[in-house]
């Protein structure tokens, strides 16, 4: 199909117009016009027997802005296929899945075109405002309660559906003060009655459901929806994603346990048959195969599940912020993982591991897992995973220390060394290509008392006897991308060191990203990078070896000296081929003891730095 140049220009203009229109959050007004939140548009039909459908002219007047006329007189010359392509771009490129509904109100002919394309209506987004205010109006059907949902279900035909429910309200209205009283039901917006109706509507379309996402602060709302589907099969479901609560609920003032206690009026019985009370471990596989035969991605965040469910042949499993009393034991976690042993590729266990492990547990090999993301508050949680599973194909590792305080005690730091030693022994660090480390700290003694820097430099210490941090880093010879969030000085110091007669640590590194909200940490980052450039220069015989990286990214507090950062970017001998600097709010972790965290250069740091700088 040949498209003339002026038609191409029209396509671009229309696409831009649709994006501006839809992103402004428009809704339909009466009389063939629509209001877009500051943009008033009216349509006028121009009959034409020579074209496929009538032309129309849109005159748009933004509030508090100059009038804008957008004429679509030549649109009628375009084939229907090309017009549908434009509609697809406006819907899925953004994405903005409300575009089809808005387009259906532009004109009768536009409605006919967009309604004929079922694929445009297959992604449905529901929120607090998707339901009508009155739950039972005279003569209404259940479909009238969710008017836009009924349009999407009808126009999507028999195609698979992806449905998301975003319910941002608390399950109960808190009373005055700090009473934490959630006893009164929420009367506004999306109510429990609405949830019951929604579950009833979707019950007739479960055979088409391909993806289901719920983000809610009300576990009751979620359970009322899904418990109506108990014992149903989901033959097409590939993705199941549930997020319960917010960061504030999870971390602040102990509100999450209170909310859980008051909100758990009913147990979820889709992933936990019979509330999880009578399901034996050996029945887990049967439940998964029977009800979710095609489930590939299961993501649960903050959910109080009973863990009496196991899907088979998962590709991705994400468990985040699971309340302690609902976390799977090491043996149950092994059962869950074993049912996807040869298919699981991405595993994220972030605030979801038990601190207790049976030492007699046999390690389960997960040969297809290439991405592992682990977040832990206690050292024992990380040890649990390392003792129950092994990852021979691992190439991407992320580590988060979930404690927000940086003034950890000495015992905790020593235990962190033990964990890194265990990772060095049990993970294939030599094949990692991507590594993300967030707020992991070590004791100073591990570097300053165990052995002397000059002993390492002179080659009198074998690599197997390096300090744990050094030994961990020395294994990362294939690493190409490294992200460090709130990096500790000793870790940076180890990264910048080069043993005798060998390449620089991290020789394959191409992309490096630093993130910190603490001003003084920027000094350690700059110090490390200067050291790396010096070592690269020495390794090249004293000549400038060129940029040390392909890409360097810095996310610093907004109080950082911009002039100093400009010096990095404009240096005649650049640090990287591409460099980006972003800023964020300065934030000091709660109870931070600055004297303990940042020692003067006159302390032991200076001794080790002097040893490193000697040639």
- pLDDT tens string 374-420: 998 888 888 889 989 999 999 999 999 887 554 456 667 777 888 88
pLDDT at 110 over 60: yes
Amino acid 563: pLDDT: 60
CA torsion angle for 571, 574, 579, 583 (degrees, to 10)?
-40
Give the residue, 60 or 145, on which the prediction is more confident: 145
pLDDT at 446 over 80: no
Q: Could you tell me if 381 and 355 are in contact, meaning their C-beta atoms sit under 8 angstroms apart? A: yes
pLDDT at 583 over 80: no
Give residue 594's pLDDT band: very low, low, confident or very high (50, 70, 90): very low
Which of 1, 66, 90, 17 is CA-nearest to residue 9?
17
Q: Could you tell me if 601 and 571 are in contact, meaning their C-beta atoms sit under 8 angstroms apart? A: no
User: Pairing relation of β-strands 27-28 and 34-35?
Assistant: antiparallel
Please give the share of the chain, as a percent, with pLDDT higher than 90.
19
Beginning with the edge strand found earlier in the chain, give each strand of the sheet holding 34-35 in spatial order: 27-28, 34-35, 39-46, 55-62, 68-71
* Helix (H), strand (E), coil (C) string for 517-564: CCCCHHHHHHHHHHHHHHHHHHHCCCCCCCCCEEEEEEEEECCCCHHH
Q: Over range 572-586, report the average pLDDT.
A: 72
Amino acid 76: pLDDT: 56
Give the residue, 33 or 301, on which the prediction is more confident: 301
Give the residue, 545 or 69, on which the prediction is more confident: 545
Tell me the C-alpha distance between 511 and 530, whole Å: 16
Amino acid 290: pLDDT: 82
* Helix (H), strand (E), coil (C) string for 1-27: CCCCHHHHHHHHHHHHHHHHHHHCCCE
Amino acid 303: pLDDT: 82
Size of the chain in residues:
615
Highest-pLDDT range among 136-140, 389-393, 474-478, 560-564: 389-393
Specify the range with the lowest mean pLDDT, choosing from 58-67, 252-261, 460-469.
58-67
Tell me the C-alpha distance between 8 and 415, whole Å: 63
Q: Over range 485-509, report the average pLDDT.
A: 77
Specify the range with the lowest mean pLDDT, choosing from 98-102, 255-259, 284-288, 293-297.
255-259
pLDDT at 128 over 70: yes
Give residue 86's pLDDT band: very low, low, confident or very high (50, 70, 90): confident
Q: Could you tell me if 586 and 558 are in contact, meaning their C-beta atoms sit under 8 angstroms apart? A: yes
Give residue 603's pLDDT band: very low, low, confident or very high (50, 70, 90): very low
Return the number of other C-beta atoms located less than 10 Å from residue 126's C-beta.
21
pLDDT at 296 over 90: yes
Specify the range with the lowest mean pLDDT, choosing from 71-85, 188-202, 228-242.
71-85
For 5, the token pair is: 């140049």
Kindly report each contact of residues 262-266 with a partner whose C-beta sits within 8 Å and lies 24 or more positions away, as own/partner.
262/171, 262/172, 262/182, 262/183, 263/171, 263/172, 263/182, 263/218, 263/219, 263/220, 264/219, 264/220, 264/304, 265/220, 265/223, 266/220, 266/223, 266/224, 266/227
Which of 402, 410, 409, 476 is CA-nearest to residue 440?
402
Amino acid 567: pLDDT: 63
Amino acid 506: pLDDT: 87
Tell me the C-alpha distance between 232 and 293, whole Å: 12
- What's the DSSP call for residue 273? G
Amino acid 70: pLDDT: 37
Give residue 22's pLDDT band: very low, low, confident or very high (50, 70, 90): very low
Give residue 207's pLDDT band: very low, low, confident or very high (50, 70, 90): very high
155 Cβ partners below 8 Å, 6+ apart?
Answer: 100, 115, 118, 120, 121
Average pLDDT, the chain: 71
pLDDT at 173 over 80: no
Give residue 586's pLDDT band: very low, low, confident or very high (50, 70, 90): low
Tell me the C-alpha distance between 19 and 268, whole Å: 39
- pLDDT tens string 420-435: 899 999 999 999 999 9
Give residue 513's pLDDT band: very low, low, confident or very high (50, 70, 90): very high
Angle between helices 219-226 and 192-203 (to 10 degrees): 30
pLDDT at 274 over 60: no
CA torsion angle for 167, 168, 170, 174 (degrees, to 10)?
-150
Amino acid 231: pLDDT: 80
Q: Could you tell me if 384 and 359 are in contact, meaning their C-beta atoms sit under 8 angstroms apart? A: no
Give the residue, 112 or 472, on which the prediction is more confident: 472
Give residue 504's pLDDT band: very low, low, confident or very high (50, 70, 90): confident
Q: What is the DSSP string of 56-110?
A: EEEEEEETTS--EEEE-TTGGGS-HHHHHHHHHHHHHTTT-TTHHHHHTTT-HHH
pLDDT at 370 over 90: yes
Amino acid 429: pLDDT: 96
Give residue 230's pLDDT band: very low, low, confident or very high (50, 70, 90): confident
Give residue 312's pLDDT band: very low, low, confident or very high (50, 70, 90): confident
291 Cβ partners below 8 Å, 6+ apart?
Answer: 231, 232, 233, 234, 270
Tell me the C-alpha distance between 142 and 132, whole Å: 11
Which of 3, 27, 163, 16 is CA-nearest to residue 90?
16
- pLDDT tens string 38-47: 333 333 333 3
User: Residue 148: what are its φ and ψ, rounded to 5°?
Assistant: -70, -35
Tell me the C-alpha distance between 593 and 500, whole Å: 37
For 509, the token pair is: 């590194």
Amino acid 611: pLDDT: 40
Q: Could you tell me if 209 and 202 are in contact, meaning their C-beta atoms sit under 8 angstroms apart? A: yes
Amino acid 397: pLDDT: 98
Decide: helix, strand or coil at residue 483. strand
Question: What distances in angstroms separate CA 604 from CA 445, 447, 525, one per listed residue?
Answer: 10, 10, 18
Tell me the C-alpha distance between 69 and 382, whole Å: 61
Amino acid 91: pLDDT: 65
Give residue 442's pLDDT band: very low, low, confident or very high (50, 70, 90): confident
Q: Over range 259-283, report the average pLDDT.
A: 57
pLDDT at 160 over 60: yes
**CB-count burial class (<10 Å; 0-12, 13-18, 19+) for 31:** exposed
CA torsion angle for 304, 309, 315, 319 (degrees, to 10)?
20
Tell me the C-alpha distance between 439 and 430, whole Å: 22
pLDDT at 161 over 50: yes
For 177, the token pair is: 């003060």
Highest-pLDDT range among 174-183, 262-271, 506-515, 594-603: 506-515
Q: Could you tell me if 493 and 608 are in contact, meaning their C-beta atoms sit under 8 angstroms apart? A: yes
Q: Could you tell me if 100 and 90 are in contact, meaning their C-beta atoms sit under 8 angstroms apart? A: no
Q: Over range 514-522, report the average pLDDT.
A: 78
Please give the share of the chain, as a percent, with pLDDT higher than 70.
59
pLDDT at 548 over 90: no
């Amino acid at each position: 199909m040949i498209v003339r140049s002026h038609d191409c220009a029209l396509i671009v203009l229309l696409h831009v117009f649709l994006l501006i229109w839809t992103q402004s959050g428009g809704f339909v007004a009466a009389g063939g016009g629509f209001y877009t939140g500051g943009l008033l548009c009216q349509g006028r039909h121009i009959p034409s027997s020579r074209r496929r459908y009538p032309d129309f002219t849109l005159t748009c007047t933004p509030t508090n802005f100059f009038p804008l006329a957008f004429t679509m007189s030549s649109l009628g010359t375009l084939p229907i296929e090309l017009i549908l392509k434009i509609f697809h771009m406006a819907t899925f490129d953004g994405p903005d899945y409300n575009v089809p509904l808005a387009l259906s109100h532009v004109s009768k002919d536009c409605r006919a075109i967009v309604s004929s394309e079922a694929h445009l209506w297959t992604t449905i987004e529901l929120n607090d405002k998707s339901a009508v205010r009155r739950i039972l109006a005279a003569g209404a059907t259940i479909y009238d309660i969710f008017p836009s949902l009924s349009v999407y279900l009808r126009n999507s035909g028999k195609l698979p559906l992806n449905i998301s429910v975003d319910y941002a309200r608390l399950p109960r209205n808190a009373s005055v003060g700090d009473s934490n009283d959630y006893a009164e039901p929420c009367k506004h917006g999306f109510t429990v009655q609405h949830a019951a109706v929604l579950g009833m509507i979707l019950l007739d379309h479960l055979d088409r459901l391909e993806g289901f996402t719920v983000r809610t602060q009300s576990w009751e709302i979620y359970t009322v929806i899904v418990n109506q589907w108990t014992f149903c099969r989901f033959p097409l479901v590939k993705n199941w994603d549930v997020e319960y609560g917010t960061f504030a609920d999870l971390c602040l003032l102990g509100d999450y346990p209170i909310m859980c206690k008051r909100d758990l009026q009913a147990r979820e019985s889709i992933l936990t048959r019979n509330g999880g009370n009578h399901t034996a471990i050996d029945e887990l596989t049967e439940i998964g195969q029977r009800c979710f035969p095609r489930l590939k991605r299961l993501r649960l965040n903050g959910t109080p599940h009973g863990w009496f469910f196991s899907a088979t042949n998962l590709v991705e499993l994400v468990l985040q912020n699971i309340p302690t009393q609902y976390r799977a034991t090491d043996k149950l976690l092994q059962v869950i993982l074993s049912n996807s042993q040869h298919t699981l590729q991405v595993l994220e266990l972030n605030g979801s591991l038990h601190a207790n492990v049976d030492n007699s547990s046999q390690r389960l090999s997960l040969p297809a897992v290439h991405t592992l993301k682990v977040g832990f508050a206690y050292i024992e949680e990380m040890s649990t995973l390392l003792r129950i599973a092994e990852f021979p194909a691992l190439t991407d590792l992320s580590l988060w220390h979930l404690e927000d305080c940086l003034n950890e005690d000495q015992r905790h730091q020593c235990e962190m060394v033990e964990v890194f030693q265990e990772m060095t022994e049990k993970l294939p660090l030599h094949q990692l290509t991507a590594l993300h480390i967030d707020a992991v700290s070590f004791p100073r003694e591990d570097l300053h008392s165990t052995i002397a820097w000059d002993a390492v430099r002179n080659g009198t210490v074998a690599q197997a006897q390096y300090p744990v941090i050094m030994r961990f880093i020395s294994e990362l010879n294939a690493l190409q991308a490294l992200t460090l969030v709130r990096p500790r000085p000793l870790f940076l110091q180890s990264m910048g060191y080069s043993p005798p007669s060998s390449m620089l640590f991290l020789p394959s590194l191409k992309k490096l990203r630093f993130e910190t909200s603490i001003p003084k940490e920027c000094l350690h980052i700059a110090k490390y990078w200067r050291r790396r450039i010096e070592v690269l220069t020495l390794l090249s015989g004293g000549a400038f070896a060129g940029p040390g990286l392909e890409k360097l990214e810095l996310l610093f507090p907004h109080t950082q000296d911009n002039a100093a950062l400009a010096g990095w970017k404009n240096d005649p001998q650049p640090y990287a081929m591409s460099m980006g600097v972003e800023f964020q709010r300065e934030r000091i972790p709660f109870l931070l003891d600055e004297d303990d965290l940042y020692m003067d250069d006159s302390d032991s740091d200076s001794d080790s730095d002097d040893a490193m700088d000697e040639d």
